[in-house]
Amino acid sequence: MRKLFVLFSLIFSSFNAMGADMSHGADNFYESDQVTVEKVTFKNQYQMEVVGNLFIPRDFDRAEKHPAIVVGHPMGAVKEQSANLYATKMAERGFVTLSLDLSFWGESEGQPRNAVSPDIYAEDFSAAVDFLGTRAFVDRERIGALGICGSGSFVISAAKIDPRMKAIATVSMYDMGAANRHALNESQTLEQRKQIIAEAAEQRYVEFTGGETQYTSGTVHELDENTHPIQREFYDFYRTSRGEYTPESSSPQLTTHPTLTSNVKFMNFYPFEDIETISPRPMLFIAGENAHSIEFSEDAYRLAAEPKELVIIPDAGHVDLYDRVDLIPFDKLEAFFQSHLKL
């Protein structure tokens, strides 16, 4: 695993009073006096209410039509974790931006909570385009999309069948299908995969007959000497003041944890199949040099057709690009969307 040892050093440096590593300008809850924020709601195609935050530059002329960007949060997170930060920073640079809670998460509708449905997640991105494209101040021919972590794979899935997304960028992307089928570096065997599927199927009987809902994976809630470096990396964001956020519709113990019975739906999720059909719309893949997830951005870049670009951020890990503003290449994102959305 690439330079995984560097993750250990992140855990023990630049801690604030809550034990969070705030190095490299970590600023997940960043707010800007250059931007106005409005909570919005809209329906996806399944008539589920999606909740988002609409960010608009303060020097904005509503009589003109402007380019816009949809921003999706990491898998298991909510819009207040990473997505709002990216949306705010890109709004400062002149774009209308919309961060959204994917269905079943955050403030958006969907029961049971924390359910996995890749098809509906992708639909939420298209519904966000529906919303933006019907605003009088948005040019519907200049709408882009940005997905962080798991949302990178969801936005690719959406863009394959929604050509209204004119430029697509991903940051620290996880292919949630491959990650569940094979695990990182293809470390999971077929027999292990079958066991996971069988356990989820048996749990359906329990829940169908009124038993307790079970949850899986997600971020650990405590650290010990045996905690894996990758889990430590996620813990420092999701379980400390650096990025911890629990919506009223959830509880701290369920944050990042999908339901066991639905998580196996990722086994049938293949976002990179036919990725070349997105061309000639441009794609930008951004990953940290030391990210445990870099394989997914590299795979997507290899399979995508031109125009495409892979940008590797030196000395950055996976979660670093959630909120460490000194590492996140906002200038690159601005240039990409400016060029292809004609800001």
Per-residue pLDDT of 176-187, as tens digits, reads: 999 999 999 999
In a domain, 29, yes or no: yes
Distance of alpha carbon 26 from its chain centroid, rounded?
A: 17
Tell me whether residue 1 is in a domain.
no
pLDDT at 15: 44
The pair phi, psi for residue 232, each rounded to 5°, is -60, -40
Query: Over the stretch 45-98, which tens digit does the pLDDT of each residue have?
Result: 999 999 999 999 999 899 999 999 999 999 999 999 999 999 999 999 999 999
Centroid of chain to Cα 190: 27
Digit-coded pLDDT (tens) for 254-301:
999 999 999 999 999 999 999 999 999 999 999 999 999 999 999 999
Query: Cα separation of 182 and 173, whole Å?
Result: 16
Query: How far is the C-alpha of 228 from the C-alpha of 74, rounded, in Å?
Result: 20
Inform me whether the pLDDT recorded for 6 exceeds 70. Answer: no
DSSP string, 45-100: TTS-EEEEEEEEETT--TTS-EEEEEEEPPTT--TTTTHHHHHHHHHHTT-EEEEE
Token reading at 99: 């961060």
Per-residue pLDDT, 2: 41
Q: How many domains does the chain have?
A: 1
The reply to whether 38 falls in a domain is: yes
Domain boundaries, position 205: 6-341
* Domain at 184, CATH number: 3.40.50.1820
Residue 167 belongs to some domain of the structure? yes
- What predicted TM-score, i.e. pTM, was given to this entire model? 0.94
Q: How many CB atoms lie within 10 A of CB 36?
A: 13
CB 252 within 8 A of CB 240: no
The two structure tokens encoding residue 127: 């519904």
In a domain, residue 103? The reply is yes
Domain-located, residue 108 = yes
More confident position, 8 or 232:
232
Alpha-carbon distance of 332 to 339, in angstroms, equals 11
The pLDDT, as a whole number, for residue 343 is 74
Q: Is residue 160 scored above 80 in pLDDT? A: yes
Residue 152 counted as domain residue:
yes
